[in-house]
Amino acid sequence: MDTFLFYLKVGINHILDINAYDHLLFLSSITLPYTFKKYYSLFWIVTFFTIGHTFSLFISTYGIYNPNLNIIEFLIPITILFSAVSNLFLKVQVKKSSLSYLVSLLFGLIHGFGFAGFYDQITFSDKIEFTPLIGFTIGVEIAQIIIVFFVLLLSTILNSRRNFFSKNFIKIMSILICLLTILIFF
């Protein structure tokens, strides 16, 4: 149980770490268009993202497939930019489509390979143990839920107001996410 809890904390801290801005930017970009009233579609987008990154984390950790991490590290900011730019041009109704769930699954696969690179660096054993991997995965999910909750809370509050910033909140934040992603990663 100590091993599980240790890796659970590592998973949470990995996502909530101030230096893990790629996770914060991506989760913010996919959550911005939603409020608590419209959480249902977001639930499925995040679920498909989770399925994707859990699958790729497991297949990478177990050595079934390990892509080039340089390519993955390049693709992660592309997923952030794509998600943020889609907020500028697509309405929430379009994001409810099965295509958006498929894209979310694909982006999850990419991010999961990034998680696998980090996970490989922090494991203390050459053998693959299931308990630490589950603990880490659940920790990542807990941290994602925390981020999504706070972005939803902010979106809900701002969408209830009727000033310039509130009306343009999604666009302003999406542009900010794009700029930060370009400055940080490129």
Domain ranges of the chain: 2-185
> What integer pLDDT is reported at residue 144 of this predicted model?
93
C-alpha distances in angstroms, 100 versus 6, 16, 103?
34, 25, 5
**pLDDT over 60 at 70, yes or no:** yes
Place of tokens 């693709």: 75
State residue 167's pLDDT score.
73
Q: Is the pLDDT of residue 178 over 70?
A: yes
Tokens of 184: 């940080």
Regarding pTM above 0.85, the answer is yes
Query: Which pLDDT belongs to residue 126?
Result: 64
